[in-house]
Structure 1
Amino acid sequence: MAREPTRFRNRTLAELPLFATDEELGEAVLGWERRKQFRPLAELHERSGFPAIHPAWGGRYVPAVKQYLDHMYALVERIPFAPLGKEGAFHVERKKPVRAPVKHNAGE
């Protein structure tokens, strides 16, 4: 039976690639012993804006994961993600311009 190598320290978020697997993120966030608990927690928090696994890159975007966790613990002012369905300013309803009424002089 193969033993896993002895680990002297956990990896940090700064040491991970830009797109990391849940196991890599789990080690950086929860530690080596609890790394496998990360995936169900991440899936639970995806509903509230936690970065999903990108289908092309095969991992979660690490800076966005850090930003989400920093926001969760009030280390940043606001979360940079747009709410669902609000990708840009083009979804904002525009007000119709209000035109000043034209005054007509009856004596002219």
Structure 2
Amino acid sequence: MVWAIRGATTVSDNTADEIVAETQKLLKEMAEKNGLEEDDIISIIFTVTKDLDAAFPAIAARNMGWTSTALMCMNEIDVPGSLEKCIRVMMHVNTDKDKKDIKHVYLNGAKVLRPDLT
């Protein structure tokens, strides 16, 4: 089956180092919690809020050696009052797991987005 796994995190500063480091933490946890290897991952879509422009979060995946996975970065819709400095991920994967067994991951300030999962 193909499922989408959601994840999000926040950074405190708009720096390339922090964007890449926090995205890498998020991707590692998403992979670990769902028992994934790169070959299981079809593609990953990254979005960032308008206040993050120092780096593409996809660099984190490439730095992890995920060189054969399709990656795309986009801007999140700028909704007034929404969470700032947020990186969101949608990872499409091949897995034998049931949908109810998929583990979505929310870190740092992004935990407020899905308190039911954190």
Same fold (TM over 0.5): no
TM-score by length of 2: 0.22
Greater share of strand: 2
Greater share of helix: 1
Q: Which has the higher contact order (CA 8 A, sep 6+)?
A: 2
TM-score by length of 1: 0.23
